[in-house]
């Protein structure tokens, strides 16, 4: 639908990344790149940092961890869409962490599946994301 668009699939585990590469090749998806790396590492890549219009994510950790890994990839005005558990809600998203990362107030969307949409209102500070594993060990609050 969007030939000028490149989609990046980020997966840290080799087995899963290999599966994704095979699926991309089998489906002949020309504008999809699989990156085998931790999200914290990808957020430091100058080629991708601050360049994406949209980041989608399953909630792979507490909200503060997810946003710290995603926000550095977004351009100002870009959107982050994160899946939410059935019991989730905007109260799960720490306001201080969102502000620190340049993200706006979360908007919860409910339907068959729930998700939260956040807008990158300001550039993410260069100090984020922190080194791999640190966001999980010491999440922003």
For the record, the structure tokens of 94 come out as: 């720490």
Neighbouring residues of 96: CB distance < 8 A, sequence distance ≥ 6: 140, 141
Q: What confidence tier does 141 reach under pLDDT thresholds 50, 70, 90?
A: confident
Question: Is the pTM above the cut of 0.85?
Answer: yes
Rounded CA separation 99/137 (Å)? 20
Buried/exposed code over 15-49 (b: 16+ C-beta within 10 A; e: otherwise): eebeebbeebeeeeeeebebbbebbbbbbbeeeeb
Tens-place pLDDT, residues 19-46: 999 999 999 999 999 999 999 999 999 9
């Amino acid at each position: 639908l969007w030939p000028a668009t490149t989609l990046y699939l980020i997966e840290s585990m080799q087995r899963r990344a290999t599966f994704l590469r095979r699926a991309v090749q089998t489906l002949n998806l020309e504008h999809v790149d699989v990156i085998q790396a931790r999200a914290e590492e990808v957020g430091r890549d100058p080629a991708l940092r601050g360049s994406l219009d949209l980041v989608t994510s399953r909630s792979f950790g507490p909200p503060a961890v997810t946003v710290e890994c995603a926000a550095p990839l977004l351009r100002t005005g870009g959107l982050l869409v994160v899946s939410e558990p059935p019991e989730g809600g905007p109260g799960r998203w720490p306001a201080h962490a969102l502000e620190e990362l340049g993200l706006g107030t979360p908007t919860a969307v409910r339907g068959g599946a729930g998700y939260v949409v956040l807008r990158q209102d300001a550039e993410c500070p260069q100090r984020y994301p922190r080194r791999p594993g640190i966001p999980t060990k010491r999440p922003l609050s």
